[in-house]
């Protein structure tokens, strides 16, 4: 059997496209005009699936969905849907919040250390925070337990 040929992979994507399309050979000839068609080949089907889902969600009529040839020519497999951008923004905010919380606990830790004068704690202070890096897992556990 072996690996599927590029035109076979392309055909899987073409069949999924909900708008008007022409024959497999004709559409494939248009597609391979792109210099990076080999890299883009595996992106087609997931992009079509995602965009078709968005079109269904917004009840877009098939007369408003571009012809497959237009979709290919305009490289619409590269379009980031608003939903994807929103998820990326949410993830960035989540990471920023986690870093902010981590820094707050780190600052609390250093404030605590600065208030202590025992010899062992003075040694930890001299360590300039390397212990913090080693005990990062402990801080993560504390953060998680305080969330619950």
Q: What is the pLDDT of residue 118?
A: 63
Got the DSSP string for 42-90? Answer: HHHHHHHHHHHHHHHHTT--GGGSPPHHHHHHTTGGGPPPHHHHHHHHH
pLDDT over threshold 70, residue 109: yes
Q: What is the pLDDT of residue 8?
A: 92
Q: What is the pLDDT of residue 98?
A: 87
pLDDT over threshold 70, residue 48: yes
Q: What is the pLDDT of residue 38?
A: 92
Q: What is the pLDDT of residue 19?
A: 83
The tokens describing 67, both together, are: 């012809």
- Determine if the pTM surpasses 0.95: no
């Amino acid at each position: 059997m072996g690996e599927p040929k590029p035109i076979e992979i392309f055909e899987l994507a073409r069949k999924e496209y909900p708008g008007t399309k022409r024959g497999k050979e004709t559409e494939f000839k248009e597609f391979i005009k792109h210099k990076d068609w080999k890299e883009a080949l595996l992106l087609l089907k997931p992009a079509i699936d995602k965009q078709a889902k968005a079109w269904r969600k917004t009840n877009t009529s098939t007369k408003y969905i571009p012809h497959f040839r237009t979709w290919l020519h305009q490289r619409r497999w590269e379009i980031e849907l608003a939903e994807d951008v929103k998820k990326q923004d949410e993830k960035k905010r989540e990471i920023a919040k986690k870093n902010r919380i981590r820094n707050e606990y780190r600052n609390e830790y250093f404030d605590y250390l600065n208030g202590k004068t025992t010899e062992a704690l003075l040694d930890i202070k001299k360590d300039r925070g390397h212990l913090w890096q080693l005990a990062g897992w402990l801080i993560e556990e504390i953060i998680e337990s305080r969330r619950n």
